[in-house]
A and B are shown apart, each in its own frame.
Chain A
Amino acid sequence: MSYTESIGSRTYRFADLKTLMAKASPQRSGDQLAGVAAASEEERVAAKMSLAQVPLRTFLNEALIPYESDEVTRLVIDDHSPQAFAEIAHLTVGDFRNWLLSSTTDADALTRIAAGLTPEMVAAVSKLMRNQDLIAAARKRPVITRFRNTVGLPGRMSVRLQPNHPTDDVKGIAASMLDGLMYGCGDAMIGINPASDNLAAITKLLVMIDDFRQRYQVPTQSCVLTHVTNTIAAIEKGAPVDLVFQSIAGTEKANAGFGISLALLQEAYEAGLSLKRGTVGNNLMYFETGQGSALSADAHFGVDQQTCEVRAYAVARKFNPFLVNTVVGFIGPEYLYDGKQITRAGLEDHFCGKLLGVPMGCDICYTNHAEADQDDMDNLLTLLGVAGINFIMGIPGADDVMLNYQSTSFHDALYVRDVLGLRRAPEFEEWLESMQITDARGALLSASPQQPLLEGASDWMGIA
């Protein structure tokens, strides 16, 4: 079905729903690269106006990627709940924006409708929203998950401690890990991107973190980010796996490019569950996503990159994840050109994920060939802090020496806690105080060699 919108004497025609969605998207280089973006600013607004009139029901009848050829579409349609949808079934996309922002729509209402939302409905409404709308609506929708601690409670924000090292040197990783913990970071998880896919090397890292965690009774979880097939193999060999990681995307073909399917994710999820390592809950999947991944795998089928991204969250929510991380600026300027586009994408991803009931965090980041710098990261960090982001990254000095990109630092986490009054996960907060790292209000104490972690460092790190 085609859509039209007239502006003065000019009539804009949009061939189908995916074209309408793409043309209504805020400007970004990836959609331009794909050739799906609006040709003019007026066409973009015409598309928004036309999209605003589309009934939400339409998204249940007009699949952007055919049901027959894509298992993500099948997942979305088959799992859709008409009961949950009933409350908003009469709305258009434009009405839905008003409903979301209405003062009578609260966390309960947003939680009630989650199973009635498809990623395409959520992507569509986000295209009509300004940045402040994305913040205001997301802030109303906490998504709380549990493993060894509780992440996502209102007024709190967690940090993934990312102590990467270019050669996976265990002491190098331990050094960055200690630095992060002394800065009060690590409640979302301690998560390493290994340089190697080698199973023995990965197991060595898992064992190192697990030994440390048990020694100091740290209420957090660990993850070594390797392909799910590697993690399944590690679990079979008895390695101490807490969270199960995988990169995911929004189409079956893009997921095939990552070497995964929904069936393989299910297998990995069940392998993780079989270990029963969570103490306060069973959320254990950790997914990473990012706008542009479907296009870069030539698997976008003419769908704009933001809509593809939200479809990835539908994949994520199937597996009750502990954390989902949009690695927003990592992919490069051909998808998100500058700080403005990265900022917008980060806010969209957080809002869309939360609306679907996904525990969104964000790797607020950029590469050196993007038109962005640390000031842009400060801005997005502050905005996402206000929006109620579940977690951010903590990397020494914001400089990842293994992945060669810049993100947020341990200091950045302290800053955003200070200015917005955001606290850590409650279990971790207590632990930090017991380790004399923070005071009762969560503020860092002056560092001293007598603090337990530092006192024991030479011992557990194996340093003479």
Chain B
Amino acid sequence: MSDFLEKNPWNALRQFTNARIALGRAGSSLPTAPLLAFNLSHAQARDAVHHPLDTEALHEQLRAQGFTSLDAHSAAPDREHYLRRPDLGRRLSEQSRAALLELEAESSDVVFVIADGLSAFAASKQAIPLLQTLCPQLKDWKIGPVVVARQARVALGDEIGELLKAKMVVMLIGERPGLSSPDSLGVYLTYAPKVGCSDAQRNCISNVRPEGLDYPLAAHKLHYLLTNGRRLGLTGVGLKDDSDAHQLADTPATPVVSDHSNPGAT
């Protein structure tokens, strides 16, 4: 440790938060170590946004798990269009639309879509473990093919679900990456999906990753919403997530502090 630094004698407070506290200072500025740690986190988040989704690997894993899988692409041809034109990411490319139509899919209770969204890392890492945890709980459900979608926004699921004649569509999509969460998955559930559904007709489960909402808890919530959405014939503002009403009562609120999230620690 260099003598030029002003240290902060409140390191102990780091046990209560992942926030970047007690970093110390060099004059008024960040010491070099936390500066570089921040740069690394930002670089990882940027890479998460721009890294292309490895669809081949996903298809392979899905097949190995016994799922039928399909490929889809939004109308946004590349990442720059995707970022500038959210409307393009909400509709299928003409090719994908034609391909899904041509299938003349049988109707199903639920279709899952694994989508890159703003973090392909999230889709690659979290989607299949979540499906593996959830699907054994869906014994009486007719599950349609799993669609792997690129340059996708949440509403792309509406068109996919409509074309595949799904009662419900579940979008498993990479969320906007934060510095401490480059691979966080969002789950969006829509009943009777069709082009033009509004966000008020969806339910959302966010921050799905082992360090956030873990697979068992996320699967529990999703199962609850699927079951009650099917029973009520709707999703969105009319469907409340009461899945944790009693389950969480005894869970301590203190978050887990992981080592990498306190980059100032030396």
A: residues with CB less than 8 A from B are: 29, 32-33, 163-167, 169, 171-176, 178-179, 182, 332-334, 337, 367-369, 373-374, 395-401, 404-406, 409, 411, 414-415, 417-418, 444, 446-449, 454, 457, 463
Contacts and interface: CB of A to CB of B under 8 A. Distances in A.
Given A368-B45, A414-B25, A163 B84 contact: no
Given A178-B13, A404-B176, A454-B9, A373 B42 contact: yes
A414 B28 contact: yes
A393 to B, nearest CB: 13
Contact of B176 (A367, A374, A448): A367
Nearest to A399: B179
A29 B85 CA distance: 9
Contacts of A176: 17, 19, 21
Interface in B69-110: 83-87
Contact of B22 (A165, A179, A369): A179
Given A401-B178, A404-B177, A411-B29, A374 B38 contact: yes
Nearest to B34: A397
A333 B84 CA distance: 6
A165 B178 CA distance: 13
18 contacts: A29-B84, A32-B84, A165-B19, A169-B254, A174-B16, A179-B10, A334-B83, A337-B84, A368-B42, A369-B83, A369-B176, A369-B177, A396-B23, A397-B264, A406-B179, A418-B27, A446-B6, A448-B9
A372 to B, nearest CB: 10
A398 B8 CA distance: 17
Contacts of B253: 167, 169
B123 interface: no
Given A404-B178, A406-B179, A172 B85 contact: no
Interface residues of B, number: 46
B178 A171 contact: no
A179 B20 CA distance: 9
B41 A401 contact: no
B260 interface: no
A334 B86 contact: yes
A163 B19 contact: yes
B240 interface: no
B14 to A, nearest CB: 7
Contacts of A332: 176
Contacts of B42: 368, 373-374, 406
A405 B178 contact: yes
A172 B20 contact: no
A334 B20 CA distance: 29
B23 A178 contact: no
Contact of A396 (B20, B83, B207): B20
B201 interface: no
